[in-house]
């Protein structure tokens, strides 16, 4: 064999060894699955496989609902807009919008911990005019980018899962919550039943106990037995 | 009547506290853990209620005690993590004190805190005694209410610890549970905490301080000993068992020195005052906050 022939052979052997030994890195894998591989990337971008939707386990509520009936009063064309969550300006066509406070029209939404406790203004999350509906494709509030554009402004490292936290939490006691956030509804009521059960049992029990010991006196507590 | 009841405790001189009028009930380690739990419980209650009701003046004042709304949370998290550590140490303690030779059987025995059918029976017998239709049940070492208290704290620690850890590190925990789990965790944490506080500040305090048996304070958890006379009436089965096993004498103790007694009264009453202040403040202010 010639010298160059040997060299070619050696190269082939080395290449074969490299081909066999080199473990396939995760990154070389084209497949993406939210269970295994790009999970972190998916969680932080909100893009799941090839779909622009949230994976099922992140979905706790049934959405979106049509606007409240009183929208009718605000504008002539409001009734034709059944669902404002996809509008670029969610207040489009609504009269008397200027110079009002958000709370006057959205009192329920003002009852949230970020507003009442952390003193955030609505616009720190919802942004300047126009305020887009939360499902408008380019809205910062759109769930595919909400975590990055809204929550991460204050919560460093927020991912899409974090952004499914319900800022405007429905009242867990209400029956309507059973339809919109069933987990919260059921957990709330189970906890309430446990608490109420404990007190229904032990408050009367303890009161009777106290009265009985008071009547029996400190010494004679167990008179019956001592008499035997 | 068993013989131990006739037996006179070694009388020396009632005035000098040398009489063996008390029975040892809790070890120093158990009392240390009870004291730590008590202190942590009050701090968690005060910081938690303060933050919860910060919209009211009372809540603001409570937070100010701990340096404000933010630092109250820092303290709440630190004490919470200490409590979880205490709980884990308690698990190790359980593994050590369990009598492994008689392992599964002793769980239903009288020295165990595991509820047994006898507890259900004694509960109803006790109820009967409340109404004067039955003699007083002869409780053993642990009454059913004491077992209930233990397990209420046990599961309360698990529930509050897990939901608290989720809430303490919301961004990190949203990698393990979906973000809306934090809404759920907050409600679980709140309701369980309010339940625990109401139970301790009403029922536990009543049982250990107010009822005639223990009035003005049951010093068992602070001094480690209980009054022989009233234990003879409430837990005769325990004393009989000690007597039978020949362990009664070694458990007899004299009254603690006055300064120990004074210290335990002070500790107990300060804790009770704090708890009742929290309870009253919460009842007044919680209806006025945004939940």
Between chains, do B202 and A203 touch, taking CB under 8 Å as contact? Answer: yes
Q: Is B287 helix (H, G, I), strand (E, B) or coil?
A: helix
Q: Which of A60, A116, A202 is facing B55, going by the closest CB pair?
A: A116
Residue B3 lies in a domain: no
Phi-psi region of A217 (alpha: psi -120 to 50; beta: other; left: phi over 0): left
Please indicate if any CB of chain A lies within 8 Å of the CB of B165.
no
Q: Which of A187, A194, A218 is facing B187, going by the closest CB pair?
A: A187
**Residue ranges of the alpha helices (H) in chain B?**
3-6, 28-52, 57-65, 69-97, 103-106, 117-130, 144-168, 170-173, 181-198, 205, 220-223, 228-234, 236-244, 248-251, 258-285
Between chains, do A222 and B136 touch, taking CB under 8 Å as contact? Answer: yes
Q: Which of B132, B174, B234 is facing A161, going by the closest CB pair?
A: B174
* Helix (H), strand (E), coil (C) string for chain A: CCHHHHHHHHHHHHHHHHHHHCCCCHHHCCCCCCCCCCHHHHHHHCCECCECCCCHHHCCCCCCCCCCHHHHHCCCCHHHCCCHHHCCCCCCCCCCCCCCCHHHHCHHHHCCHHHHCCCCCHHHHHCCCCCCCCCCCCCCCCCCCHHHHCHHHCCCCCCCCHHHCCCCCCCCCCHHHHHHCHHHHHHHHHHHHHHHHHHHHHHHHHHHHHHHHHHHCCHHHHHHHHHC
Phi-psi region of A77 (alpha: psi -120 to 50; beta: other; left: phi over 0): alpha
Contacts of residue A168, Cβ cutoff 8 Å, sequence gap at least 6: A108, A109, A112
Residue B5 lies in a domain: no
B105: pLDDT strictly greater than 90: no
Residue B10 lies in a domain: no
pLDDT interval class at A10 (50, 70, 90): very high
Residue B14 lies in a domain: no
Residue B276 lies in a domain: yes
Q: What is the ipTM of this complex?
A: 0.87
* B184 contacts on A by Cβ (under 8 Å): 183-184, 187
* A224 contacts on B by Cβ (under 8 Å): 135-136
Q: Which of A155, A206, A225 is facing B206, going by the closest CB pair?
A: A206
Answer whether A43's CB lies under 8 Å from B171's CB. Answer: no
Residue in the block written with tokens 């209410």: B145
Residues A67-103 have pLDDT tens digits of 555 544 455 555 455 567 777 778 777 777 777 788 8
Strands B252-253 and B225-227: unpaired
Range(s) of the domain holding residue B56: 19-288
Residue B2 lies in a domain: no
Count CB-CB contacts under 10 A for residue B153: 20
Give the model's pLDDT for residue A47.
Answer: 52
B215: pLDDT strictly greater than 60: yes
Q: What is the DSSP letter of B15?
A: G
pLDDT interval class at A43 (50, 70, 90): low
Give burial (CB, 10 Å; 0-12/13-18/19+) of B102.
Answer: exposed
Chain A residue with minimal CA distance to B195? A195
Q: Which of B178, B184, B233 is facing A58, going by the closest CB pair?
A: B178
* B69 contacts on A by Cβ (under 8 Å): 117
* A148 contacts on B by Cβ (under 8 Å): none
Give the model's pLDDT for residue B222.
Answer: 84
Residues B240-282 have pLDDT tens digits of 999 998 888 888 888 888 888 898 889 889 999 999 999 999 9
Residue B191 lies in a domain: yes
Q: What percent of chain B has pLDDT over 70?
A: 94
Q: Which of B127, B180, B206 is facing A210, going by the closest CB pair?
A: B206
Which pair of tokens denotes residue B13? 């001189």
Please list the residues that pair with B23 across neighbouring strands: B226, B252
Between chains, do B171 and A184 touch, taking CB under 8 Å as contact? Answer: no
Q: Can you tell me the distance from the alpha carbon of A29 to that of A188, in angstroms, rounded to the nearest whole number?
A: 44
Q: How many CB pairs under 8 A join A and B?
A: 133
Please indicate if any CB of chain A lies within 8 Å of the CB of B251.
no
Residue that wins the pLDDT comparison between B2 and B29: B29
Between chains, do B183 and A184 touch, taking CB under 8 Å as contact? Answer: yes
Q: Per-domain residue ranges for chain A?
A: 38-169, 174-218
Through-space distance between the first and last CA atoms of chain B, rounded to whole angstroms = 58
Q: How many domains does chain B have?
A: 1
Between chains, do B55 and A57 touch, taking CB under 8 Å as contact? Answer: no
* B2 contacts on A by Cβ (under 8 Å): none
Residues A104-152 have pLDDT tens digits of 888 888 888 998 888 888 888 888 778 888 888 888 888 888 888 999 9
Residue B11 lies in a domain: no
Residues B141-179 have pLDDT tens digits of 999 999 999 999 999 999 999 999 999 999 999 988 999
Side-chain half-sphere of A10: how many Cα atoms within 13 Å?
7
Dihedral of the alpha carbons of B177, B178, B184, B185, in degrees to the nearest 10:
30
Q: Can you tell me the distance from the alpha carbon of B65 to that of A199, in angstroms, rounded to the nearest whole number?
A: 31
Between chains, do B180 and A61 touch, taking CB under 8 Å as contact? Answer: yes
Give the model's pLDDT for residue B138.
Answer: 92
B17: pLDDT strictly greater than 60: no
* A214 contacts on B by Cβ (under 8 Å): 211-212
CATH of the domain at B157: 1.20.950.20
Between chains, do B178 and A161 touch, taking CB under 8 Å as contact? Answer: yes
C-alpha distances in Å from residue B101, one per residue of B47, B91, B98, B106, B116: 44, 19, 9, 9, 20
Q: Can you tell me the distance from the alpha carbon of A47 to that of A159, in angstroms, rounded to the nearest whole number?
A: 12
Chain B segment 3-62 residues within 8 A of A by beta carbon are: 51, 54-55
């Amino acid at each position: 064999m010639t010298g160059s022939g040997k060299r070619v052979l050696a190269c082939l052997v080395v290449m074969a060894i490299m081909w066999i030994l080199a473990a396939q890195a995760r990154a070389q894998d084209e497949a993406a699955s939210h269970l295994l591989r790009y999970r972190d990337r998916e969680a932080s971008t909100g893009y799941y496989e090839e779909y622009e939707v949230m994976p099922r386990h992140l979905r706790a509520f049934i959405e979106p609902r049509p606007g409240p009936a009183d929208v009718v009063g605000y504008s002539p064309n409001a009734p034709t807009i059944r669902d404002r969550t996809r509008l670029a300006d969610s207040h489009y066509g609504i009269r008397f919008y200027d110079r009002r406070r958000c709370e006057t029209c959205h009192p329920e939404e003002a009852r949230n911990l970020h507003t009442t406790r952390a003193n955030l203004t609505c616009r720190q999350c919802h942004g300047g005019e126009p305020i887009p509906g939360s499902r408008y494709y380019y809205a910062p509030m759109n769930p595919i980018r909400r975590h990055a554009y809204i929550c991460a402004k204050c919560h460093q490292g927020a991912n899409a899962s974090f952004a499914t936290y319900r800022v405007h939490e429905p009242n867990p006691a209400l029956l309507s919550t059973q339809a919109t956030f069933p987990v919260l509804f059921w957990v709330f009521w189970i906890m309430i039943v446990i608490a109420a059960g404990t007190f229904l049992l032990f408050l009367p029990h303890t009161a009777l106990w106290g009265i009985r010991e008071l009547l029996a006196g400190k010494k004679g507590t167990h008179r019956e037995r001592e008499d035997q | 009547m068993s013989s131990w009841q006739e037996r006179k405790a070694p009388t020396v001189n009632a005035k000098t506290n040398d009489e063996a009028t008390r029975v040892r009930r809790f070890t120093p380690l158990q009392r240390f853990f009870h004291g730590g739990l008590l202190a942590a419980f009050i701090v968690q209650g005060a910081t938690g209620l303060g933050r919860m009701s910060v919209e009211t003046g009372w809540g603001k004042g409570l937070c100010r005690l701990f340096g404000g709304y933010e630092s109250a949370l820092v303290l709440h998290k630190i004490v919470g993590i200490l409590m979880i550590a205490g709980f884990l140490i308690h698990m190790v303690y359980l593994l050590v004190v369990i009598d492994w030779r008689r392992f599964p059987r002793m769980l239903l025995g009288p020295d165990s805190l595991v509820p047994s059918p006898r507890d259900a029976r004694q509960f109803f017998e006790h109820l009967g005694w409340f109404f004067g239709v039955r003699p007083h049940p002869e409780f053993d070492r642990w009454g059913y209410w004491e077992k209930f208290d233990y397990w209420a704290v046990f599961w309360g620690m698990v529930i509050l610890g897990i939901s608290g850890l989720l809430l303490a590190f919301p961004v990190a925990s949203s990698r393990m549970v979906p973000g809306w789990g934090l809404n759920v965790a907050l409600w679980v944490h709140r309701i369980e905490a309010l339940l625990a506080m109401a139970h301790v500040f009403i029922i536990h305090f009543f049982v250990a301080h107010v009822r005639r048996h223990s009035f003005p304070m049951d010093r068992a958890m602070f001094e480690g000993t209980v009054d022989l006379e009233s234990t003879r009436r409430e837990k005769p089965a325990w004393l009989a068992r000690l007597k039978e096993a020949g362990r009664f004498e070694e458990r007899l103790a004299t009254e603690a020195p006055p300064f120990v007694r004074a210290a335990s009264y002070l500790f107990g009453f300060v804790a009770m005052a704090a708890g009742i202040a929290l309870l009253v403040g919460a009842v007044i202010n919680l209806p006025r906050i945004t939940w």
